[in-house]
Amino acid sequence: MRRIIACTLAIFFVFIAFGHNSADSVKVYFRVNRANFDPLLGGNAASLDSFVNKIRVAADARELDYITIRAYASPEGPLRVNNRLSEERSKTVADYIISRTGIDPDLIRIKPEGVAWDELRRVVAGNPDVPCKSQVLEILDNTPLWIFDSKGRVVDGRKKRLMSLAGGVPYRWLFAHVFPQLRNALAVSVCLKPDSCDRQPAADVADTLRLSDQVDIVSVVTSDTLRHSVDGELSDTALFNKQPAAAEPLPAPRHLLALKTNMLYYAALMPNLELEYLFSDRWSVAVEGDVAWWGRYSHDKSYRIAIITPEVRHRIKPRSPWHGMYVGLFAGGGWYDFWNGGTGYYGEGVMAGASFGYMWPIGKRLSLEAALGAGYMHTRFKEYEPYEGHRVYQRTKSLDYFGPLKLKLSIAWRFLDRNKSKRIKSEI
């Protein structure tokens, strides 16, 4: 029944389209992730030049109505990247035709279409060798392109389920055996005026019918492993599938490490560095080192301190990896030597406590962090009097303290993006 309806509509719209004629067909090839024309690949130069000559003849006879260039891609790359590449390749073909024929650029229509999901479905249905064939067809038929959660974030989708099915075995088979047939295929339909150049261009029959048997097709196919021409034409559904142009989201940067420095401690002449490692969206570990090494006994001053503080942190409803509110537990110890002309203090101490902070982005890799820490500190120290560059021991004391132990306003540089390789692969 659907075939009868389709044929009826086809005949009806052919009459509406004023009986456009179509030019001969040709196939042109591109390499993967390339938009430049390679005349040596797949006999591009000879086949396209022959086709261009026919366009030139039609244009000279004032019979050329318009040319439509359509682009398709296989699912393994993000739609954003595939649409960009197919548009660039369409322009390459258009520029080549214009440079060889001198026709008006307004006669060429460029229409990147996206992923040929319907063509993939047709190939899978007709190939008995596809692993887990019934499950693959179930995903292609019933899984939306994107699945969102209640906050509008992408959590699943058709491609992800294909990749996860049976440990990725079907997806890898499709990648090797089917995707090259779909990869960045462009279709060009050349419509001729039926009788004179005075007639206004009619509606695009291909757009109206979505049936390729009403026009001849000029296919432009790309493959990095191409060694010979691809036999056969692309299917009706692949050529006229109107895939939405929404871009597939690329993996967001997920930096594993952050290098920080507390600007407030520089006011106390204490250089410092902190290194934090994010091992999940909510949990991280950090280690902070603070060192001051100023003064000499001969100049009646000594300001020397070294502290190391490990900490574990938990983020509360993070806005994104790293950013948002957090609480932490820290412990640490240090050594110090203070003397300013009177009694000197030389000792060691340990501390433990809890911290509360907030971190927000201020750049692509930079963040700002503010935090306060409080807890318990115990120190044992010796009082001394300096004499000719030596410490003259006086007495030993200890001190226990409860209260603020940290005050932070830090600049953080985030690096080591674990998603970088995924984005690079998505661009290929």
Q: Which of 96, 47, 85, 67 has the alpha carbon at shortest distance from 190? A: 67
3-state secondary structure of 355: strand
List, for residues 271-291, the tens digit of each pLDDT value.
999 999 998 889 999 999 999
Q: What is the pLDDT at residue 284? A: 95
Using the predicted structure, report yes or no on whether residue 378 has a pLDDT greater than 60.
Answer: yes
Amino acid in position 194: P
Mean pLDDT of 199-212: 38
Could you tell me how far CA 117 lies from the centroid of its own chain? 21
- Establish whether domains 2-127+178-240 and 255-421 are of one fold: no
β-strand partners of 348: 335, 380
pLDDT score, position 90 = 79
Q: Which helix (H) or strand (E) holds 408?
A: strand 390-417
> What are the structure tokens assigned to 329, written together?
């537990």
**Contact by Cβ (8 Å): 334, 349:** yes
Judge whether residue 248 has pLDDT over 60: no
All residues at 6 or more sequence positions from 315 whose CB lies less than 8 Å from its CB, including other chains: 281, 282, 283, 284, 324, 325, 326
The structure tokens listed for 379 are: 């120190």
For tokens 């969206």, what's the residue? 281
pLDDT of residue 142: 92
- Which 8-state DSSP code applies to residue 186? E
DSSP code of residue 17: T
Q: What does the longest C-alpha to C-alpha distance in the chain come to?
A: 114
Q: According to the model, what pLDDT value does residue 71 have? A: 67
Query: Residue 180 has what pLDDT?
Result: 73
Dump pLDDT digits (tens) for 286-335: 999 999 988 754 456 788 999 999 999 999 987 778 889 999 999 999 99
By CB atoms closer than 10 A (0-12, 13-18, 19+), residue 56 is middle
CATH number of 255-421: 2.40.160.20
Task: Assign 24 a pLDDT band (cuts: 50, 70, 90).
Answer: low
Cα–Cα dist 270/306, whole Å = 9
Q: Is residue 354 helix, strand or coil?
A: strand
**What's the 3-state SS for 289-332?**
EEEEEECCHHHCCEEEEEEEEEEEEEEEEEEECCEEEEEEEEEE
Q: What is the mean pLDDT of the chain?
A: 76
Q: Quick one: 2-127+178-240 is in which CATH superfamily?
A: OmpA-like domain (3.30.1330.60)
Report H helices in 78-195: 79-101, 117-125, 133-142, 158-164, 169-177, 179-182
Mean pLDDT over 362-373 rounds to 93
Alpha-carbon gap, residue 351 to 144, rounded angstroms? 55
The structural domains of the chain, with segments of one domain joined by +, span: 2-127+178-240, 255-421
Q: Residue 368's pLDDT band (boundaries 50, 70, 90)?
A: very high
Averaged over 390-413, what is the pLDDT?
Answer: 92
